[in-house]
Chains A and B, each alone.
Chain A
Amino acid sequence: MSKPLVAIRSVSKNFGEFQALKQVSLDVHAGEVLCLIGASGSGKTTLLRCVNQLTPADSGGVWLDGELQGVREQNGRLHRLSERQVAKQRLKTGMVFQRFNLFPHKTALDNIVEGPVQVQGRPRKEVIAEAMELLRRVGLAEKADNYPSQLSGGQQQRVAIARALAMKPMLMLFDEPTSALDPELVGEVLAVMKELAKSGMTMMVVTHELGFAREVADRVVYMDHGVIVESGSAADVLGSPREARTQAFLSAVIR
């Protein structure tokens, strides 16, 4: 078996006394679309944020593209990387948030251009051309000069996806990208994500959209109380779950 793009090994995270993640291990291979499902508070967001170090794990390790994230091993001890080094590692991942988090003082185009120009120091002209191409790809070319407040939720989320893609990440993290949207706007965002999946992007998607998971996911992971309960193909996990907890969750969600 080839080396996974993302390898999560025995990752634990506590918030005070509360154990949000308990020794979680998981592989994601290049080109794979992985959907994380589970009840509220089961640790899905925390796991996703451990991958790009927005939430550093208390113990365990996350490797991305073969590189240990957030820490460095030396003489049998782990040393936290500097903020600058962590920021550099984050360039390999893009993240899409539940509440979009677009920069409200910048237009759609400037939101996308910001990272490549300010962080990667690439020439503005070249980046703008790419950003326009990305806006076209998410169907918003004519909204380039609109501020986020002048866009619908679905449009904002599509700009947010374009903003993440502009950094040319090798992995995209989605944290419930459609759950803050009105029902009629969910489809347009999922369509962009499907197209992205088809283009071969590696994706980790926390979602409650089981239809999307069934159609797009190569693998579905069900989490509960900070552990991975079940993992397998979408057909297996969603169609004929082995674990009683997965069955209970699915019958509650589908009803």
Chain B
Amino acid sequence: MSASERLAEGFPDLSRLPVAAQLHWRRWLTAALILVVLAAIGRAFANGQIEWSYVGRFLTVPVILKGISNTMIMAVLAMALGIFLGVVIAVMRLSSNPVLKTVAAGYTWLFRGTPLILQLLLWFNIALVFPTIGIPGIWSGRAVDIMTPFLSALLGLGINQGAYTSEVMRAGILSVDAGQYEAAQAIGMGRLQALRRIIFPQAMRVVTPPLSNEFIGMVKATSLASVIQYPEVLHSAENIYYANSRVIELLIVAGLWYLLVVSILTPLQMLLERRFSRGTLPSVR
């Protein structure tokens, strides 16, 4: 456009005018409404039959601290078992061997198809089916001694988790371009090596958000192990309120601990995601 070209009249130059701040009155209104509702709920609880001093007093008693540490130990170990089984089952499911495929599909079918609490009870009571367990000729023991609450909870939670994790892992593996596997083969990698070195590291980026979700679910699912006497935090809270009848106060104590743990996990997930997004552009991330 030449400098001398004339522009049409009637369109004033707005470039000098400042932009006024927006009022956002709708946001203020909704915020005010929510505050009113929260205040009402808070008042109800403050005036309700809750002794808040008990909540404060029991929040850090040794039994509760031991309980939350047992909760975390169980969540981490059962999740580790779940991820290990999930990877194995996912790889079996994607193999070309029909036997492995069927076994993997059967595993997922069985453990996703029954309630977790039922599985926990079955593991805990396995002595009713097999009074002694062991490896014939090498070692054996009484099932009641071996199937402690800890081991029953670990097996129940971990094996159940494996069924869900395998589907997450399978989706992750399938999300990696088939060309990646071919490129790995072309430099002489076998199937497992290609999975380990090339496919899994890329799948991790996809599976981290759903796996973090699963882990948060696992932290809370450990509370089911209270039915088989595993001393996690809810079980500890229950034991205390059986003695002092402060039911709601101790349930709030347990609830606060779950909230705290889950709040810590969210930034950890962010760290993991950043770790596994190596090589992807910020815009793609």
In the bound complex, CA of A104 to CA of B202 (Å) = 8
B279 near A118 with CB under 8 A, answer no
B185-211 CB mask vs A (1 if < 8 Å, else 0) is 111111101000110011000000000
B188 near A88 with CB under 8 A, answer yes
In the bound complex, CA of A12 to CA of B80 (Å) = 47
In the bound complex, CA of A167 to CA of B185 (Å) = 12
Q: How many A-B residue pairs have CB under 8 A?
A: 75
In the bound complex, CA of A54 to CA of B191 (Å) = 12
The verdict on A115 contacting chain B, using a C-beta distance below 8 Å, is yes
The stretch from B107-115, B138-146, B176-184, B256-264 touching chain A is B176-184
Known: A54-B185, A115-B187, A118-B197. A101 touches B278 (CB 8 A): no
Q: A189: shortest Cβ distance to chain B, in Å?
A: 17
Q: B56: shortest Cβ distance to chain A, in Å?
A: 48
B279 near A101 with CB under 8 A, answer no
In the bound complex, CA of A105 to CA of B280 (Å) = 8
The verdict on A114 contacting chain B, using a C-beta distance below 8 Å, is yes
Chain A residues contacting B188 (CB-CB under 8 Å) are 87-88, 90-91, 115, 119-120, 167
Kindly identify which residue among B177, B182, B184, B279 contacts A148, using a CB–CB cutoff of 8 Å.
Answer: B279
For the residues of B in contact with A, the DSSP-based class is helix
Residue of A nearest to B276 (CB): A105
The verdict on A102 contacting chain B, using a C-beta distance below 8 Å, is yes
Known: A115-B188, A118-B189, A167-B188. A102 touches B183 (CB 8 A): yes
The verdict on A164 contacting chain B, using a C-beta distance below 8 Å, is yes
In the bound complex, CA of A87 to CA of B278 (Å) = 28
B279 near A104 with CB under 8 A, answer yes
Known: A99-B179, A118-B197. A54 touches B279 (CB 8 A): no
A103 near B183 with CB under 8 A, answer yes
A94-132 CB mask vs B (1 if < 8 Å, else 0) is 110101011111110000001100111000000000000
A164 near B202 with CB under 8 A, answer no
Kindly identify which residue among B190, B198, B201, B278 contacts A83, using a CB–CB cutoff of 8 Å.
Answer: B190
The verdict on A163 contacting chain B, using a C-beta distance below 8 Å, is yes
Q: Which of B180, B186, B198, B284 has the most CB of A within 10 A?
A: B186
Q: B234: shortest Cβ distance to chain A, in Å?
A: 40
In the bound complex, CA of A101 to CA of B181 (Å) = 9
Chain A residues contacting B191 (CB-CB under 8 Å) are 83
Q: B179: shortest Cβ distance to chain A, in Å?
A: 4
Kindly identify which residue among A97, A106, A107 contacts B179, using a CB–CB cutoff of 8 Å.
Answer: A97
The residues in A between 53 and 87 inclusive whose CB is less than 8 angstroms from any CB of B are 54, 83-84, 87
Q: Which of B182, B183, B201 has the most CB of A within 10 A?
A: B183
B148-178 CB mask vs A (1 if < 8 Å, else 0) is 0000000000000000000000000000010
B272-284 CB mask vs A (1 if < 8 Å, else 0) is 0000001111001
Kindly identify which residue among B179, B187, B279, B281 contacts A105, using a CB–CB cutoff of 8 Å.
Answer: B279
Kindly identify which residue among B177, B180, B187, B279 contacts A119, using a CB–CB cutoff of 8 Å.
Answer: B187
Chain A residues contacting B179 (CB-CB under 8 Å) are 97, 99, 101
In the bound complex, CA of A150 to CA of B279 (Å) = 8
In the bound complex, CA of A93 to CA of B185 (Å) = 11
In the bound complex, CA of A163 to CA of B281 (Å) = 22
A90 near B193 with CB under 8 A, answer no
In the bound complex, CA of A48 to CA of B279 (Å) = 30
B186 near A87 with CB under 8 A, answer no
Kindly identify which residue among B193, B198, B280 contacts A103, using a CB–CB cutoff of 8 Å.
Answer: B198
Known: A104-B202, A105-B202, A105-B278. A87 touches B182 (CB 8 A): no
Chain B residues contacting A90 (CB-CB under 8 Å) are 185-188
List chain A positions with a Cβ less than 8 A from chain B: 52, 54, 83-84, 87-88, 90-91, 93-95, 97, 99, 101-107, 114-115, 118-120, 147-150, 160, 163-164, 167
List chain B positions with a Cβ less than 8 A from chain A: 177, 179-180, 182-191, 193, 197-198, 201-202, 278-281, 284
Return the 10 tightest CB-CB contacts between A and B, nearest first: A115-B187, A101-B183, A147-B279, A101-B179, A95-B186, A119-B188, A91-B188, A105-B279, A104-B279, A87-B190
Q: Beyond the given A163-B187, A167-B187, A167-B188, could you list 19 further A-B residue pairs with CB under 8 A, ordered by the A residue number?
A: A52-B186, A54-B185, A83-B191, A87-B188, A90-B188, A95-B183, A95-B186, A101-B182, A102-B183, A103-B198, A103-B202, A105-B202, A105-B279, A114-B197, A115-B189, A119-B189, A120-B188, A147-B280, A148-B279
